[in-house]
Chain A
Amino acid sequence: MAYSDKVVDHFNNPRNMGSFKKDEDGVGTGIVGAPECGDVMKLQIKVQNDTIVDAKFKTFGCGSAIASSSLATEWLKGKTIEEAQQIKNTDIVQELNLPPVKIHCSVLAEDAIKAALNDYKKKAEDNK
């Protein structure tokens, strides 16, 4: 299968690859997928004053999965929690030119964003 140039670029030069400490203040972590299915994404956001100031990912999966999560971190940075909620998998499909068999990678990335946001909100609730 031929990958789009954007997928190849994200794969070769992943943006924001790495981890935050899960218990750090303002950090939300989302881990989605399963090793048996061939992809697991970990997406983390760091929030200050309702704005995502930093994001990081680690992904086990194909090139499209890695590119989807790498792109997601780029998009998350600078967005408010509210804005981040609006990121749709179809936006990722469009940006990366994903073929039909790789659409699940974008779905997983959207799930990871939601999971990270929920984790952050839950932690914020608990700390109140």
Chain B
Amino acid sequence: MKFPIFLDNHSTTPMDPRVLDTMLPYFCEKFGNAASRNHPFGWEAEEAVERARQQIAQLIHADAKELVFTSGATESDNLALKGVLEMYKEKGDHIITSATEHRAVLDTAKSLESKKGVKVTYLPVDKYGMVNPDDVRNAITDKTILISIMMANNEIGTINPIKEIGKIAKEKGILFHCDATQGVGKIPVNVQEMGIDLMAFSAHKIYGPKGVGALYVRKKAPRVRLAPIIDGGGHERGMRSGTLPVPLIVGFGKACELCEQEMPTESVKLAGLRDRLQDGIMKHLDEVYLNGHPTQRLPHNLNISFAYVEGESLLMGVKEIALSSGSACTSATLEPSYVLRALGVGSDLAHSSIRFGLGRFNTAEEVDYTAKRIIEIVTKLREMSPLYEMAKEGIDLKSVQWTAH
């Protein structure tokens, strides 16, 4: 076993060596600008980009022409929300989204609220973190121009009923954007069947390179138009200017091709490892709670709260395993996860949560080791926890007058 063990595959994934091999020729030899129309260097680059576009489109059942390359999912989310709100401002100014979206959507929505006077409805989620399609329907007004709901949550792995929401959007003639960063490459995604009009995703979550992502923009029924947020040479049908990062795009394409080929076996393997980890931990510890949906969840996600133990100290106790307490984007702050809070998880248990993210290269040996170490450290920290002591003495922690600080 090699240390440290990487179990934080929701934050990023190691690049697959097969992806790197495909990328390498496009740095020094085939370095052309895909927009150069007058010489073979450009043609070669353009050809490579178009091949990658096909590979990516195939994974999500889209047409290659419907993909706009960006720097990553954050930019794709920004482009979807800002581009639609700007382009369709005559039609309305209302967005529907949910409380557990990634910050790339939430903060973009907040920025539109404060700078552009856009109205945003943040739908609540149920105790498993799932959006109720009826809530989406009920939130629609005659000013609604965009629904933005994530495919699967990055912290708790809950998968939303995307197809149902897509159906409602179609019925009402409202554009539907889906942040599918955690879903693409991990679970089957079909933009046609799911009724998705815009979809953000990125390469580095699926064993591809960092720095490249895509926005799927529907071309037919309806033809979605976007106001660009980056102006320039008019690349990507005018929606995203800037020279295409050919090696990254080539890697993105290969990563998608591999995901498509391996998903049937890989998702079964990962779900098996996930269950093994969950059972291994839960069999030996009491007062351990699963966060997220018990069945409608990503195959590689496990999010657990360990009562009476603070998450950061837990991570510190298993330094040889790379894990996350809540989202990596919020770990610099002291606030507990807003996703868990939206599920109704108490602040105390939100502080006690750990996210395990399994990936293509993890092994059963690593999972068993992790379960063993987690049990050890939780037991040790509970010995050290005044809360555990009080609970064992029969004191109801909710009845205690704490001195909040």
Instruction: Give A contacts to B, CB under 8 Å.
Output: 1, 3, 8, 11, 14, 17, 19, 31-42, 58-63, 65-66, 101, 104, 107-108, 111
Contact = CB atoms under 8 A, between A and B. Distances in A.
A4 B313 CA distance: 14
A60 B384 CA distance: 7
Interface of A is mostly: mixed
A36 B309 contact: no
Given A33-B402, A34-B405, A35-B397, A62 B312 contact: yes
A58 B403 contact: no
Contacts of A32: 403, 405
Residue among B317, B346, B384 facing the most chain A CB atoms (10 A cut-off): B384
A14 B380 CA distance: 11
A40 B386 CA distance: 7
Interface of B: 308-310, 312-313, 316-317, 332, 334, 336, 346-348, 351, 383-389, 397, 402-405
B400 to A, nearest CB: 8
A107 to B, nearest CB: 7
B221 to A, nearest CB: 49
26 contacts: A8-B316, A11-B313, A19-B389, A31-B386, A34-B405, A35-B397, A36-B347, A38-B310, A38-B334, A38-B336, A40-B386, A40-B387, A41-B386, A59-B384, A60-B309, A60-B310, A61-B313, A62-B310, A63-B312, A66-B313, A66-B384, A101-B332, A101-B334, A104-B334, A107-B405, A111-B403
Given A33-B403, A37-B405, A38-B336, A58 B312 contact: no
B389 A58 contact: yes
Contacts of B403: 32-34, 111
Given A36-B348, A66-B384, A61 B405 contact: no
Nearest to A38: B351
B368 to A, nearest CB: 23
A90 B25 CA distance: 56
A81 B383 CA distance: 28
B386 to A, nearest CB: 4
Nearest to B398: A35
B385 A59 contact: yes
A103 B399 CA distance: 28
Residue among B309, B334, B348, B386 facing the most chain A CB atoms (10 A cut-off): B386
Nearest to A12: B317
A39 B385 contact: no
Given A33-B403, A40-B402, A108-B405, A60 B308 contact: yes
A33 B385 CA distance: 13
Contact of B384 (A33, A34, A58, A108): A58
A8 B317 CA distance: 9
A34 B310 CA distance: 12
Contacts of A3: 316
B384 A35 contact: no
B57 to A, nearest CB: 41
B346 A33 contact: no
A40 B351 CA distance: 12
A119 B238 CA distance: 71
